[in-house]
Amino acid sequence: MHTILICDDDKDIVSALDIYLSSEGYKTVKAYNGNEALRAVEQNEIHLILMDIMMPELDGIRATAKLREGSNVPIILLTAKSEDNDKILGLNIGADDYITKPFNPLEVIARVKSQLRRYTALGGAEKAPGLLSVGPISLDDGAKLVTVDGEPVSLTPIEYNILKLLMTHPGQVFSSAQIYEQVWNDPAYGSENTVAVHIRHLREKIEINPAEPRYLKVVWGLGYKMDKGGI
């Protein structure tokens, strides 16, 4: 059984999410600010976090940043429509997705299931091993390990799956919509910014100079590719 941490200072929202998720068979842990969320992660085995952005004591952005210092557990931000800049900031520091309030319960369940499928697959020992290499970048799918010049790189599940997709098809251009549909397993409506943020974050981890990437390149107007030559 997967355990989901629900963190929001609005107790009615926490209660509603608890009802939705419990009806799907998930165990839930509740928190009402970022500090409580950090303690909950220390005290429980958490498989996914639903994190509000605007909270007292420690907001969702800073809590996500602290969590990413030692955990790759999927984080879905709960945001208001007016918090667009915070959405982008949250994705930049390691959140995997966001849901805008007021939300549809079916959307919440669908996004939770989608993130848990990727997280489970990322840690699954039953996967057949496979080694992919492009320049100094190596991806060992059996060990779920990415290295650059032999040094391990810590990626979130979303970053790992984007990199795996592009490295599996070196030189092939994937549009933002194609990347979103294959990695998120959701329709790609309005996906460009979400994909761009994760690509930017991935470049910061695998490129020597992210501003002038040699490997993970943009093809303007078309999408992204993993350049085999690195030039």
pLDDT digits (tens, 9 = 90+) for 97-134: 999 888 899 999 999 998 888 777 665 333 334 688 88
Angle CA(131)–CA(118)–CA(102) in degrees, nearest 5? 150
pLDDT digits (tens, 9 = 90+) for 161-193: 999 999 998 889 999 999 999 999 888 777 788
Q: Does residue 227 contact residue 217 with C-beta atoms inside 8 Å? A: yes
Place of tokens 């992210």: 210
pLDDT digits (tens, 9 = 90+) for 63-77: 999 998 878 899 999
Q: Please give the CATH architecture assigned to the domain spanning 131-226.
A: Orthogonal Bundle (1.10)
Which CB contacts under 8 angstroms, 24+ apart, belong to 181-188?
Answer: 183/118, 183/158, 184/97, 184/114, 184/158, 185/114, 185/117, 186/110, 186/111, 186/114
pLDDT digits (tens, 9 = 90+) for 47-68: 999 999 999 899 999 999 999 8
Q: How many CB atoms lie within 10 A of CB 195?
A: 24
| Cα 158 from Cα 195, distance rounded (Å) | 10
Supply the CATH classification number for the domain 3-122.
3.40.50.2300
- Which are the contacts of 182, defined by CB distance < 8 A and separation ≥ 6? 165, 174
| Cα 118 from Cα 83, distance rounded (Å) | 26
Q: Where are the domains of the chain?
A: 3-122, 131-226
| Cα 188 from Cα 46, distance rounded (Å) | 28
**Is 1 or 96 the better-scoring residue by pLDDT?**
96
Q: What is the pLDDT, as a whole number, of residue 31?
A: 97
Percent of the chain exceeding pLDDT 70 equals 93
Any alpha helices (H) in the chain, and if so which ranges? 11-23, 34-43, 60-67, 84-92, 105-122, 157-168, 176-184, 192-206
Place of tokens 């996004």: 111
Question: Region 29-53: what's the mean pLDDT?
Answer: 94
Band (200; pLDDT cuts 50, 70, 90) = very high
pTM comes to 0.61
For residue 212, count CB atoms less than 10 angstroms from its CB and return exposed for 0-12, middle for 13-18, buried for 19 or more.
exposed
| Same CATH fold assignment for domains 3-122 and 131-226 | no
Helix, strand and coil content of the chain, in percent to the nearest 5, comes to 40, 20, 40
Q: What is the pLDDT, as a whole number, of residue 58?
A: 93
DSSP SS3 for 137: strand
